[in-house]
Structure 1
Amino acid sequence: MRHDDIWRALDALAAEHGLTASGLARKAGLDPTTFNKSKRLTGEGKPRWPSTESVSKVLDAVGAPLERLTELITGNAVAPRRASAAPQRRIPLIGLAQAGAEGYFDEAGYPVGGSWDEIDLPSVADPHAYAVEISGDSMEPVYRDGDIVIVSPAAPTRRGDRVVVRTNEGEVLAKELVRRSARRIELASLNPAFPDRGFDIDEVNWIARIIWASQ
């Protein structure tokens, strides 16, 4: 269990109930700044973990079992079974070039607003998953122009994962995660003709894992 996975799960739990991280803390009777991003690292850059008491209060406040938080941490939530349902789901769709504009994501990287298109794609467990249509050749030969990828904000990210990253400047990239520390993220380009990239943590708005592609 990783530090980033715990915080991402709490962000996902808040979003499920229409709350921000601050709103979730307030609902649980905690200081509204308890779950702020600035509180997730110490002044020396070391990981700061939420207390078990805080987690317990949050689960009580939203009426969620501990199992739900565990599902969000691991990214292995099980979708409810329906006897005759087809394994499809309508999920939000955005173009890669569009994704850098304001108004499409909240601060945790979850889709918001009413300007998204929709598309029928294989069902995934994350209720906040969305689709991105690749444009251009910067991700060839892995992803080509017109390919659709499903992105899961709740899925934990690890070295070697293909991810979508949005910077605070509005740049959106699809890369391979090489290394993630408390201070920096290193990314490898999928197309060898394009350079690898690296960012300080405070330059990154969010990072989310690609869990499916239409190829």
Structure 2
Amino acid sequence: MTHDDIWRALDALAAEHGLSASGLARKAGLDATAFNPSKRVGADGRSRWPSTESLAKVLSATGTGMAEFAALVTGMPALSRSGRQPSARRIPLIGLAQAGGEGYFDDGGYPVGGGWDEISIPEIGDPNAYALEISGESMEPVFRDGDIVIVSPAAPLRRGDRVVVRTQMGEVMAKELKRQSARRIDLRSLNPAHPDYAFDLSEITWMHRIVWATQ
């Protein structure tokens, strides 16, 4: 478990409740800046943990149990209030190789059109989540041929996240977000035999976080 895992889980919890990080802090009765990026790093440049008191207040304010929050820390969908996995829902599914074709996504990167199959998964908070089936070996050893990844357009993005990116040229790829600035993104290939990529933001149509994988 890392600092980024905890902060990412807080961001995911905020998104599941339709809140920003500041909105989540306010809901928990904390200072609105408590979860700002500047508060996540100390004056010495080292990553900081959120306080136990802050986490306790957030969990209480959102009605979230420790098991649910632990699921978010690992990148899995949150558990239901009863502690059981939520009932399954069906989301759109296509192959990663198909995803670069026209007619599958709208301008915002949300799945559209009638060419999608469907898959049943545990409930996650994003109503626009979709699934991609991996083909080939370009993402080994992280994802293998036939694995299915669940992608959330609403999930917040941080360095180190595994993401699906679509370029203006129509290419769709699954990578790790290595770095993002105001103008560029750097992507690390999951398979070390394949090259890393760097793009100007103007070259990217959308970038969504992989939140779960079936393997």
What is the TM-score normalised by the length of structure 1?
0.61
CA-CA distance at 1:168 after TM superposition? 0.7
Alpha-carbon spacing, 1:78–1:136, altered in 2? closer, same or farther (3 Å):
closer
Who is 1:128 aligned against?
Answer: 128
Cα separation, 1, equivalents of 2:119 and 2:93:
6
1:148 has 2:148 as partner = yes
- SS state at 1:110 partner: coil
- Give the partner amino acid of 1:207: M
Question: What's the CA shift for 1:80?
Answer: 8.7
Code of the aligned partner of 1:147: D
Within-5 A mapping of 1:1-215: 87-215=87-215
Counterpart code for 1:150? I
Contact preservation (8 Å) 2:85, 2:122: no
- Tell me the SS of whatever aligns to 1:144: coil
- Looking at structure 2, the residues matched to 187 and 79 of structure 1 have their Cα atoms a distance apart, in angstroms, of 31
Offset of 1:87 from its aligned partner? 2.5
The one-letter code of the counterpart of 2:183 is R
**Higher deviation after alignment, 188-197 or 84-93:** 84-93
1:79–1:125 contact (8 Å) kept in structure 2: no
Consecutive aligned runs of 4 or more in structure 1 exceeding 6 Å deviation: 77-82
Q: For the residues of structure 2 that align with 1:197 and 1:144, how far apart are their CA atoms? A: 20
Q: Which amino acid aligns with 1:100?
A: G
Q: Does the 8 Å CA contact 1:79/1:124 hold for their aligned counterparts?
A: no
Q: Could you tell me whether the CA contact under 8 Å between 2:79 and 2:86 is conserved in 1?
A: no
In structure 1, how many angstroms separate the alpha carbons of the residues matched to 2:208 and 2:101? 17
* Structure 2 residue ranges without an equivalent (≥5): 1-6, 19-61, 63-76
Partner AA of 1:200 in structure 2: D
Structure-2 separation of matches of 1:162 and 1:86: 24
User: How many residues end up aligned between the 2 structures?
Assistant: 146
Q: Is the 8 A contact 1:126 1:154 kept in 2?
A: yes
For structure 1, which runs of at least 5 residues remain unmatched after alignment? 13-66, 68-76
Deviation at 1:78, TM superposition (A): 8.0
Alpha carbons 1:89, 1:121 under 8 Å: kept: yes
Distance in 1, matches of 2:153 and 2:146, equals: 22
Q: Identity of counterpart residues, as a percentage?
A: 69
Query: Is 1:131–1:151's contact at 8 Å kept on the other side of the alignment?
Result: yes
| Distance in 2 separating the partners of 1:121 and 1:100 | 23
